[in-house]
Amino acid sequence: MEARKPKQLFIQGAISSSFIGDSIQKHSSRHDIGGHSIFLGQVRADQVDGKTVRAIEYTSYEDMALEKMHEIREAIFSKYDLSCLHVYHSLGTVEVGEICLFVFTSSAHRKAATEACSELVERIKAELPVWGKELFDNETHQWKINK
Amino acid sequence: MEARKPKQLFIQGAISSSFIGDSIQKHSSRHDIGGHSIFLGQVRADQVDGKTVRAIEYTSYEDMALEKMHEIREAIFSKYDLSCLHVYHSLGTVEVGEICLFVFTSSAHRKAATEACSELVERIKAELPVWGKELFDNETHQWKINK
Amino acid sequence: MNSEINIMVFGQLAELTGSTSVKVNLPEDTDSLKKLLLEQFPALVNYNFIIAVDKRTITENSNLYQGATIAILPPFSGG
Amino acid sequence: MNSEINIMVFGQLAELTGSTSVKVNLPEDTDSLKKLLLEQFPALVNYNFIIAVDKRTITENSNLYQGATIAILPPFSGG
């Protein structure tokens, strides 16, 4: 089998609900798929010392992130019996209530899609060189920390 | 707190990708949400003895299904720290490649949404009085069996 | 006095009985109902099915009463 | 011969250094690089950061070479 090429990973700004709907629609031609699992990260209006997060500004070491994502994809495809796998992450500013991460897995039987989706989210947060700067309503900021 | 009322569960025919996109969009006003987990069931063109499934026709004991779904919702809300929970299941005919089940959970932190979504899918398949009749391309049928 | 009641029949069981509802004389309890249905539809012995009374599945023998909502359900296969 | 190289600087580390890239004289290995950066930016001692060479994170001391792509990365916080 030919090696999979690095795929698009980054989207400028928020990921729209119509983009997500369209991605789902595209899979209707895949008659071997029985289940899809989707995770969406949404920007939360966290309160910190009386200030409220109004947006997160994402930056990345893009070249490295693309290579790492390619490596993660290959590992997940080897481990789970998946039909499809898509990951999109925002760069730039994403306002509260908007979507910043879209992970989408599909398989014949639900277990592979569900488990692969969870593992992908964990690996993306731990291994992709992406940074979130939380912008507060008073023009200050703090750097996001992943737990 | 007021008890939650039984909510709409059934959709006639397939669940469209635009319905799913719209449901996601509606949550952009909820600034306490940090993660959404979605499971979609899609009708698979399974092969059985040389015949191919072309659609599944769903029927239900609707009154009982609504009560059971209400009970499951209450149990899931008690067990997980969720912001939102939506479940839609098709009735009638759903063609291969179309969506027949849409489970959607949201929470501040991803773990609750992800675990609640998985548990919901298992409970829905095991406990809701819904039956799928697999229609083959040669006008015969067989009754679906959940594993 | 007429003590006939309707039993709702779902899924593949309705193919077997030829109808989505069958009439029986009200039995005393769910075990008796099961016996009665197996007499009326001997092929039912090849099927797994459960009885629901008032929209709750019955896991042990339960009394029946005039006005109860009774249904027989094959294994669920939603999703 | 000029042996200066560019180090890419990301996230909050770029706030500290005041730039998304800093020039240093090519050190022999990543441990020497770390020492050199801490001399140049003493406040770095308060930060966790890792070094990436040619887009791979470095987990043990590694030799550097002219032409290597070097970056310093604060803890990741995507998603």
Predicted confidence (pLDDT) at residue B103 exceeds the cutoff of 90: yes
Beta-carbon separation of A128 and D78 below 8 A: yes
Cα(D37)–Cα(D29) distance, integer angstroms:
12
Give chain B's mean pLDDT: 95
Give pLDDT, residue A1.
Answer: 45
Residue C3 binned pLDDT confidence (cut-offs 50, 70, 90): confident
- The size of the A-B interface in CB pairs under 8 A is 111
One digit per residue, the tens of pLDDT, for chain D of length 79 reads 468 999 999 999 999 999 999 999 999 999 999 999 999 999 999 999 999 999 999 999 999 999 999 999 999 999 9
d(CA A20, CA A87): 11
Q: From CA D9, how far away is CA D19, in angstroms rounded?
A: 7
Instruction: Give the Cα separation of B49 and C5 in Å (integer).
Output: 41
Backbone torsion region of residue B17, taken as left when φ is above 0, otherwise alpha when ψ lies between -120 and 50, otherwise beta: alpha
- Please give the pLDDT value at position B147: 79
Q: Could you give the dihedral angle defined by the CA atoms of residues A22, A24, A29 and A35, in that order, rounded to the nearest 10 degrees?
A: 180
> Do β-strands D21-25 and D50-53 pair in parallel, antiparallel, or remain unpaired?
unpaired
> What pLDDT, on a 0 to 100 scale, did the predictor assign at position D3?
85
What is the mean pLDDT for each group of 10 consecutive residues in chain A (147 residues)? 71 98 98 98 96 98 98 98 98 98 98 98 98 96 92
**Interface test mutation site (partner A, options D48, D57, D58, D77, max chain A beta carbons within 10 A):** D77
**Residue B101 above 80 pLDDT?**
yes
Segment B112-142, tens digit of pLDDT: 999 999 999 999 999 999 999 999 999 999 9
Task: Specify the pTM.
Answer: 0.95
**ipTM, interface predicted TM-score of the complex:** 0.94
Probe site for chain B from C55, C58, C59, C76 (most B CB atoms < 10 A):
C76
Is B113:A121 a contact under the CB 8 Å cutoff?
A: no
Closest CA to A94 of A133, A60, A63: A133
- Please answer whether residues B98 and B18 qualify as being in contact, where contact means their C-beta atoms are separated by less than 8 angstroms: no
Q: Sort out which chain A residues have CB atoms less than 8 A from D52's CB and list them.
A: 61, 64, 129
Q: What is the pLDDT of residue B1?
A: 44
Residue D19's DSSP bridge partners are none
pLDDT score at B5: 61
Backbone angles phi, psi at B44, to 5 degrees: -100, 140
Q: For B131, which of C52, C71, C74 is closest by C-beta distance?
A: C74
